[in-house]
Structures are given as C-alpha cells and as structure tokens.
Amino acid sequence: MSQMPQQAAVSKCPSCEEPLEPGDRFCGACGYDLSVVPAPPEDSPTVVMNGAAPGPGPARDEVDWPTARDSDGQGRPAPVHAAAELPGTDSGGSPLPSQEPSAPEEPAREPGRESAQEHSSGVRLDRPAEPDEYPLQAPAPRSAPEPAAAAPAAGAGGKVCVACRAGRVDRDGYCENCGHAQPRERDHMEQESGPVAAVSDRGLRHHRNEDAFSVGCTALPDGAPATVAIVCDGVSSATRPDDASLAASRAAGESLLGALPRGTHPQQAMHDAILAASHAVNALAAEPATAREQAPHQNAPACTLVGAVVTGGLLVVGWVGDSRVYWVPADRATPPARLTEDDSWAAQMVAAGLMSEAEAYADERAHAITGWLGADAYELEPHTASFKPDRPGVVVVCTDGLWNYAESAQEMAEAMPLDAAVRPLHSARVLVGHALDGGGHDNVTVALLPFPAPPQGAGSA
C-alpha cells in the first residue's frame, strides 16, 4: 500500500498566498496541489563562538582549521600593516610603480595638540566636535590702526586681515595668509564726516550688529555749519531688527541733511526726520504674502532712534526709545548732563514716584521699552528738545550698549577722553572699547559731535 506524501505544514498557499486550513490538500482559491510543497529542512545546530557544536559531526580536533590571518601559524601574532604600507596593484595584478611623495611642510600648531597626520589610520577618534564656522570678533576699536597704516600686503584697494594684520582678504571673505574668516561689514563700522564721527560694534555676545548710524555735515541758508548724527538700535525681539535700524538711520539722516539747507528750523527738521524714519521702518512690514506663509509667527521690524543737530549756537535732540544723548563740557570742572528721558518701564516707574532710579534700573524689567519705531507701535510720540549751551563741549549720542557701562552723565564724562572735541573718531573708539571692556553684552554704537559746530573742513586731528 502506497503511502501518501507527507504534506508540508504551511499556512498560506505558495501560489496565491490565500490562507489555508489545517489538513487542506488543495488550495480552495486556485486549486494548487499542496502535496507537492516540500517539507522544511531539518534545523541545524547553531555553532557557538568558541567553535564547539553539539550534535553529530566530526570532532573539533579532527577539523582542519585554517590558520588565522593575524597569526604566523605558530601562535605568534603577525605584524600589523597599515593600508598605506602594503604594495598596490593595478587591475591586471601588476604592482604599481613606486612614487615617493614629497614631504609637505609641517604646519605650525599649538604645543601639546596632536595633528591628524600622526595617526597611521588618518582618523582622529578623539577630535572634539568643531563648529561649521568660527566667529571672529572685530579688533578692539582703541587698538585699530588708522587706514593709512594698513599693511602693504593688501595692495591697492584690498583689505588687510584683522587677525594677522598681514594677509590679503579674498573675495570670499577669508585671509589668504592665515585663513581666518573676516568680520561682516556691520560687525564693526566707523565713519567720520567733518567734525562728527561715529563707531558701531557688534559687541562680545550678539551674533550680529543690530545697531546703525548716520552722520553728516551741511550748512544752513546763512552759511552757518550744521552737524547731524542719528543712532538707531534694533529691537531684538522683533523680526529683522538690523534692517529696521539701518532703514531708520538712513531715512532720518537724509531727511535732516535735506531740510536744514532749505531753512527748516532744526527742531522741526528733527521731528520730521523721526517721522520719515518711522515710515521707512513701517514699510518693512509690508512683506510679500509668501514670506508670511513661510514664517507666520514673524512680527513687525522695530527699532529705537536718537539724534542730535549742532549748529552755531543751538543744540537740538530728538528720540524715541531708550537710546540717549549726553552733554559733556570741555571744562570737566563743569558738571555734564543727560539730555533725554528713556521711553522705558524703568523711566515710567521713576516718573510716577513708585521707585528710585537705582531700584528701577536694577529691576529685570528696566529695559522694557514703551516707545519705538515700527508698524506695531502703539502710538508714535517723537520727543524733541532744544538747548543753548553757554560753553564748548561734546555731544554724545549712543545706544544702551554703551550707557549700560556709563549710565550717569558723570560716568560718561569720565570714560571720554579730554581731547574728544578735536579727536571725535578716536574718542568714539575709546568709548566703544570701554563698553567692550565692561563685558560687551549688547551692540555698541556712539556718535560724537563737538559743540559749537566747527567751520566746514575741520575734523579730527
């Protein structure tokens, strides 16, 4: 009696994947003969890592085990070769011609730091994670050389590296000598226009400079000289604060330099300049709908503004926000003065008599501003004031990045050099350096205007 072939235990039809019932001999869907399905092979024991395997088979000692590649066949480890030490062959198996590469010049490195070439594998497993780029702080303003003292390596019209002071900067912004990335254009800015000068620096903590300034000199209809300085501080919690400060400073500066020669009173010209700056910042909020869709949580760009106009016998200041103007007489025996009042929470507390000035500015809410330029400002209230000093001096126009380290008028006067009236650019650098020495937690911008305005053509010595 013939015996039926043993049916393989399968759960699905090998032909159509239809589920099967136990005992089925044919697939109910396609009619496939399940008796021809081969039985699964017998399981083989798993060989353990030490080479011993249970079950039938030759004994371990009877197996002709091959000699391990890391042994010379007598139990001694074979010498280890790096990949670069083994001879190479071409696709036909012939040895490659030996070419002895010239040894490159060993680059200088810090003592105790191991180079990657010292590893035979060419891989540094202990190398710490490195950033994509290394931010390079601009040089200390007080130690920056004059443009005339630039190294000759830069060539005509070229830039000198701020790190090594010798290499030329290529078009990509890197030094061809030491390879350092150069600061961005707005990281450190300086400008001198006649007797007025300004310096702006990114500071030591911020990733970009959100301050901007505009300085210039012109003449009134009667020929009297007039100097102008505008300083703007971008509101960091707003979108594109650097664009806001730049647009506001340019608009206000152009407005003043255009209105004063036409005979507009300096105080009215300052008021109109603040309105022009406000319109320029508001225009930044009118961004395309596509930009709003990509970043729906953006808010309107915003900044603060402070400015000063100096004529023959008149000093006009204007502001919105918490940037300030100080008056420092040339005779330091005469007390200096602060000429603006902050649009800030701290100033409101002091004005209401709820806190002393020391208590208010020690509070964490002290620098919360209550007035600014921007489309989301509650109400624009430009502040302007006129003064007629009876003695010569220097007008300091600055952001809180400076006055945080010289808050009182007396502290500002002590930080400023005695010859600031004749060397405004140098003195502005000194004041920025004072803020950086204090910690540089914010962007720092300051403009200095000698009073009264010197005749046209007078400038820094």
Q: What residue has token string 């060397």?
A: 423
Beta partners for residue 393, in sequence order: 329, 451
Task: Give the model's pLDDT for residue 178.
Answer: 87
Say which residues have a Cβ less than 8 Å from residue 126's Cβ, sequence separation at least 6.
none
State residue 119's pLDDT score: 39
Supply the pLDDT for residue 117.
39
Residue 9: which residues within 8 A CB-CB, separation 6 or more?
40
> Cα separation of 244 and 230, whole Å?
13
**CA angle at 445 for the pair 442 and 446, rounded to the nearest 5°:** 140
pLDDT of 394 reads: 97
- Distance between CA 316 and CA 310 in Å, rounded? 7
> What's the CA gap between 12 and 112, in Å, rounded?
68
Q: How far is CA 177 from CA 95, 167, 169, 172, 335, in A?
A: 41, 5, 8, 14, 50
Beta carbons within 8 Å of 345's beta carbon, 6+ residues apart: 360, 363, 365, 366, 367, 368, 369, 370
Residue found under tokens 């505008």: 230
Report mean pLDDT in 10-residue bins for the chain, 461 residues.
Answer: 47 78 77 68 45 47 51 54 52 56 44 38 39 49 47 54 81 83 85 95 92 96 95 94 96 98 97 97 77 64 97 95 96 95 90 88 86 90 95 97 95 96 96 95 96 68 40
Predicted pLDDT of residue 133: 46
**pLDDT the model gives residue 64:** 55
Instruction: Round to whole Å and give the CA distance between 166 and 46.
Output: 70
pLDDT of residue 407: 92
Q: Is 293 helix (H, G, I), strand (E, B) or coil?
A: helix
**33's tokens:** 């003969």
Report which of 225, 216, 280, 221 is spatially closest to residue 253, judged by C-alpha positions.
216
The pLDDT of residue 17 is 78
